[in-house]
């Protein structure tokens, strides 16, 4: 019971920090929609809810998803929701979940956002884009040199 309350409190704190961070940025045309999407994204990440995370991705992901296998970074595609769920443990790792919860979103051109962090000699980032008719979606995960 105490663990559940602690997890809930931590998730609420992460969401509050994320919303405050996005409010401090220059508002884009769909700012309110991004804040709501981002809060839901953080909840899904904190809960390790692969079904919800899959619902937040724009499929297909065509060669825009980086996978790190023991230092060997490859860019892969993801066909659809079922493909993502099948390979979830490789495509959305504990490392990604940990850093996504701590990183601060940054506004990009065209109403897009990036959630990035640096680790040793690489930079990792999630990219979010507004899709007409569906709202914000996760469109990529990148790992690249600094």
Per-residue confidence at 5, pLDDT binned at 50, 70, 90?
Answer: very low
User: pLDDT: is 31 or 7 the higher one?
Assistant: 31
For the segment 35-60, the average pLDDT, to the nearest whole number, is 98
Model pLDDT, residue 22: 44
As for how many domains the chain has, the answer is 1
Model pLDDT, residue 95: 94
Model pLDDT, residue 146: 80
Model pLDDT, residue 120: 82
- pLDDT reading at 9 higher than 60: no
- What is the CATH classification number for the domain harbouring 11? 3.10.450
Q: What mean pLDDT value characterizes the chain?
A: 86
Question: Radius of gyration of the chain from Cα atoms?
Answer: 15
- Full domain range(s) for residue 131: 2-145
Give this prediction's pTM.
0.79
Structure tokens at 115: 């959630």
Q: Give the model confidence (pLDDT) of 67-120 as tens digits.
A: 998 889 999 999 999 999 999 999 999 999 999 999 999 999 989 999 999 988
The share of the chain scoring above pLDDT 70, in percent, equals 81
């Amino acid at each position: 019971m105490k663990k559940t309350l602690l997890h809930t409190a931590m998730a609420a704190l992460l969401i509050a920090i994320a919303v405050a961070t996005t409010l401090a940025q220059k508002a884009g045309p769909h700012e309110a929609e991004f804040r709501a999407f981002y809060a839901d994204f953080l909840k899904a990440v904190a809960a390790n809810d692969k079904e919800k995370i899959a619902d937040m991705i724009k499929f297909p992901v065509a060669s825009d998803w980086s996978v790190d296998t023991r230092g060997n970074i490859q860019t892969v595609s993801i066909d659809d929701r079922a493909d993502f769920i099948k390979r979830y443990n490789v495509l959305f790792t504990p490392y990604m979940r940990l850093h996504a919860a701590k990183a601060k979103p940054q506004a990009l051109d065209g109403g897009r956002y990036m959630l990035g962090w640096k680790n040793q000699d690489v930079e990792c980032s999630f990219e979010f884009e507004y899709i007409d008719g569906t709202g914000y979606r996760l469109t990529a995960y990148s790992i690249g040199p600094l």
